[in-house]
């Protein structure tokens, strides 16, 4: 895992609308970058809907949210439309960005071994460094956990 204080790796990925989104687009504000294994599965839907339900509170705190998986743009478009998701879901089909964020690798499920995305979250600070790290998160309640933690760690203000 990346550590608090590390520079957050830059990324440039298409969102569910095929539009390019870069990490640097969010310079000057906090950014939640959450990695999830597969769109339209139970845990990933729970997590995405949790972020979507809390999106206004993230906006009020000047915190942007993006979700990243190795799904295709068309799969993300379907997922976002089905659940009226109002934030960017980014397609990292080859797992390159997830690898940079140490959130991609070998997984085992039902006796099978495969490469996939780990359920990790990073909070990137306004200066582009990692503010917080959450490894192997539980989807249910994760957005609320982040909001509570962010409220406890306000961004330093310059006078």
* Helices of type H across the chain: 42-53, 55-60, 73-82, 96-100, 142-152
DSSP calls for 109-144: ETTEEEEEE---EEEE-TTSBEEEEE-S--STTHHH
**Terminal alpha carbon distance of the chain:** 34
44 is a catalytic site residue: yes
Choose the catalytic residue: 44, 48, 90, 97. Answer: 44
Q: Which of 3, 126, 12, 129 is nearest to 68 (CA)?
A: 12
| CA distances, 156 to each of 7, 10, 43, 78, 159 (Å) | 18, 23, 34, 39, 10
| Separation CA 35–CA 67 (nearest Å) | 6
Residue positions annotated with a catalytic role? 44
């Amino acid at each position: 895992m990346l550590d608090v204080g590390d520079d957050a790796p830059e990324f440039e990925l298409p969102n569910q609308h095929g539009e390019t989104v870069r990490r640097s687009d969010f310079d000057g504000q906090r950014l939640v970058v959450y990695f999830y294994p597969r769109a339209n599965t139970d845990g990933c839907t729970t997590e995405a809907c949790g972020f979507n339900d809390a999106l206004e509170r993230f906006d009020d705190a000047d915190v942007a949210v993006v979700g990243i998986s190795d799904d295709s743009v068309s799969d993300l478009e379907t997922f976002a439309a089905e659940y009226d998701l109002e934030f960017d879901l980014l397609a990292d089909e080859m797992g390159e960005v997830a690898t940079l964020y140490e959130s991609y690798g070998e997984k085992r499920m039902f006796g099978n071994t495969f490469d996939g995305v780990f359920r990790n979250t990073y909070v990137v600070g306004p200066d582009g460094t990692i503010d917080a790290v959450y490894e192997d998160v539980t989807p249910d309640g994760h957005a609320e956990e982040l909001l509570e933690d962010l409220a406890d760690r306000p961004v330093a203000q310059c006078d």
